[in-house]
Amino acid sequence: MRTRLLAALCFLLPSLAVAGDARCKGTPKARAARFSEKALKGKSPAERYAEYVRACSLDAVVELTKSLVRFKTVSSELPAAKSPEVAAMGRFLGQWAKMHGLAFRTVGDNEVFELSWGEGEPRLGLVFHGDVVPAPAHEWKKPPFEPYVEQGRLYGRGVEDDKGPLASTLVALAMAKELGLSPTQGRVLVIIGNGEESDWRGMVQYAETQKPHPTHVISVDSNFPVVAAQGGFVAWTLEAALGPPPAQPTPGQLRAVDVSAGEFLTQVPGAAALKLEPAGMEPEKALAVMREAVTAVRTARPSLRAEVKQEGSRLVLTTHGTAVHASVAEEGANAMWDLAAIAAKLPLEPNGIEAMLRLVAERFDGDHWGEKLGMAYQDALMGRLLVAPTVLRVKDGKVSLGVNMRRPQGKDSAAFHASLDEAAAQLERDSGGRVKELKGGEGGRYVGDPHVADTSGPLVTTLLDIYKRHRNAPDAKPQSVRGGTYARLFPRAVDFGPAFPGDLYMGHAPDESISLDNLDATTRMVAEALYTLALTPPAK
C-alpha cells in the first residue's frame, strides 16, 4: 500500500509539463512566474489566473484523477470505516494537501475528508465524494481501476463520478495558491464524503455537526449549467416467498428456480437471467418453448437481445439491455423488463419468482413514470416522477425486487407515502397475496425529500453567468435533476457540473469515461467560481 501511495504522488514532481505550452514547463514556482503580474503586464489577477489554468491544468488534472481512481473505494462493498482503500486515499490526499500548503483532517472513521485553505469562518464549500459504485470486471473492456486515456477520453471507475471533478478542483485550487492568490472573506473547504454511493451516514453527520456551513456550497457531482433542484430519493422493496415445489410437476409447465437482474439500486440492469427446470416437459420441448417465447417478444421489440441455453439439467434465459444511472433510466434499456416480458409467455409453475416476474411485466415494463402503478405526477420545474425496478434477487427462500424512484416536489411526504401504500396493496392483490412490500429493517422503505435552492440568489446567478460565458449559452437556465448528491444536505447548495447538456452520463455505467475537453472545461469554470466567490476582495 505504501509503495502505491508513493507512486501515486509521483505526478506532483516538478518534471511534469504540458507539451502544448512552453510556459507550463518546470517547477510550479517557475510556471507561476510566467503568469505573474510582471510577466503579464496589464492583466488583472482574474485574467492571469484564468490563463494559467487554461494553459497548464489539464495534464495535472488527468494524472491526479488517475491516482484517485486507482484506489478501489467501493463503499457498498466495504464502508469507509473498514476500507483500507479509503484509508489509503486519505493518506494520499493528506500528503497532497501538505505539499500544497493546505490543512487536512478526517471527520469520523475516514467517512469525510476535509481540505482547508485560509482563515476565519468558511466562505466557500466545494463538495465531492471519494467512493464509487461497483465495477463488475466482466462488464468492462479493461480493468476498471486501471485508468487510461484513449481517443480523447479518460476511462476508469470514478473519472466522472466523482474523482475527475475532485481532481479538477484540487488542481484549480493549487494553481491559485501558486499565483499568490488567497481567500479574502473566509476559508475555502474541499469536503469529500466517502459514502455517497451507499448510506450517506458520514456526510449526514458532518453536515449536522460542522457548523457554521460555508456561505456558498457547490457540489460538483451532477450537471451543468446549474442544478438548483434534486428529486427525492426513494428506495422501495417488494418480496415474495419462493415457496416449496409441488410434490408432482404439472405436465407442460416449467419451474423457475432462480432469477437475477441488476448490480445495485441506482443502476438500470444491463443484464438479467432466469434459470428454469423442465419439470413437466422434456428438455428439448422446453428449449423450443423458450425460444418461441423469445421470438414472440422480439416481434414487438426488434432490438431485443436474448438467448436461451442449457446448463446441465437447467435451462437459462438471459437478456441484455443498456445499463445507465437509475436517475436517467429512460436513456438506457432495462434488461429486467425484457426478461419479464419473455417469462410472461412461458408456462411457469406458480411460485414467488413467477409471481414477481408477472408483476414486473404487468406493472413496470415499458413505464418509467409510475403510470401502471397509479403513482404518476409531475412538477413544472422538476418534471415527472421516475420509477425504475433495478435489482431482482433470490436469497434465503425469498425473491426480492428493489425499486428506485426519484420524486419531484408537488406531493408532500405524507401524500407520497400514502401513494406507495396504495401501490403496494394493489400489487399484493394482483399477486393473490404472494408479493408484499418489505417493511422495516435493512432494505425497508426510504423516502427522501426533494431539494430546491434559491434560483435567484447570488450563488445560482454567479454560476449561471460563468457557464453562459464559457459555453456561449446565453439562454442557459437553472435545472432540476432526479439524481441525489450531497448538495441536498446543505441549505441553498447547488450542483455545478461535471456532465454537459447533450452528453450521455457515464458515471455509473460500464467503461465509465469523461472527455478530456469536458474535464478541461470543468476545471476552468470551477476555477472561475473559486476566484469569484472566495478570492476576490469584498465590495466596498
CATH code assigned at 34: 3.40.630.10
The type of residue at 12 is L
| Pairing mode of beta strands 378-379, 383-384 | antiparallel
pLDDT bracket for residue 540 (50, 70, 90): low
Residues 128, 190 contacting (CB under 8 angstroms):
yes
Does residue 2 carry a pLDDT above 50? Answer: no
pLDDT in tens, 294-336: 999 999 999 999 999 999 889 999 999 999 989 999 999 999 9
- Residue where one domain finishes, among candidates 447, 470, 498: 447
Phi, psi values for residue 231, rounded to 5°: -65, 150
Cell for 352?
414467488
* 167 contact partners, CB below 8 Å, separation of at least 6: 61, 62, 64, 65, 68
- 8-state DSSP, 345: T
User: Does residue 472 fall inside a structural domain?
Assistant: yes
Q: What is the 3-state secondary structure (H, E, C) of 499-527?
A: ECCCCCCCCCCCCCEEEHHHHHHHHHHHH
Same domain, 20 and 141: yes
Same domain, 45 and 189: yes
| Pairing mode of beta strands 446-447, 232-241 | antiparallel
Where would I find the H helices in 270-377?
Answer: 283-300, 335-343, 352-363
Same domain, 315 and 442: yes
Same domain, 250 and 223: no
Same domain, 212 and 236: no
Q: Output the pTM of the full model.
A: 0.73
Residue 6: its pLDDT value, please?
41
CATH code assigned at 372: 3.30.70.360
Same domain, 404 and 278: yes
Residues 386, 329 contacting (CB under 8 angstroms):
yes
- Residue where one domain finishes, among candidates 447, 482, 513: 447
How far apart are the C-alpha atoms of 252 and 463, rounded to whole Å?
64
User: Does residue 137 fall inside a structural domain?
Assistant: yes
User: Does residue 88 fall inside a structural domain?
Assistant: yes
Residues 35, 51 contacting (CB under 8 angstroms):
yes
Q: Supply the range of the domain harboring residue 424.
A: 232-447
* Count of domains forming the chain: 2
- Residue where one domain finishes, among candidates 432, 447, 462: 447
Same domain, 238 and 298: yes
Same domain, 363 and 251: yes
The greatest distance separating any two alpha carbons of the chain, rounded to the nearest whole angstrom, comes to 91
Q: In sequence order, what DSSP letters do the residues of 90-135 get, joined into one string?
A: HHHHHHHHHHTT-EEEEETTTTEEEEEESSSSEEEEEEEE--B---
How far apart are the C-alpha atoms of 483 and 436, rounded to whole Å?
27
pLDDT bracket for residue 14 (50, 70, 90): very low
User: Does residue 245 fall inside a structural domain?
Assistant: yes
User: Does residue 153 fall inside a structural domain?
Assistant: yes
Same domain, 467 and 520: yes
User: Does residue 540 fall inside a structural domain?
Assistant: no
Residues 158, 68 contacting (CB under 8 angstroms):
yes
Nearest to 201 by CA among 107, 266, 105, 88: 107
Same domain, 99 and 223: yes
Residues 465, 533 contacting (CB under 8 angstroms):
no
Same domain, 425 and 467: no
Same domain, 369 and 392: yes
Does residue 395 carry a pLDDT above 50? Answer: yes
Please work out, in degrees rounded to the nearest 5, the angle formed at the alpha carbon of residue 75 by the alpha carbons of 72 and 78. Answer: 85
Give the H or E element holding residue 46: helix 45-56
pLDDT in tens, 430-474: 999 999 999 887 788 999 899 989 889 999 999 999 999 999 999
Share of the chain above pLDDT 70, in %: 96
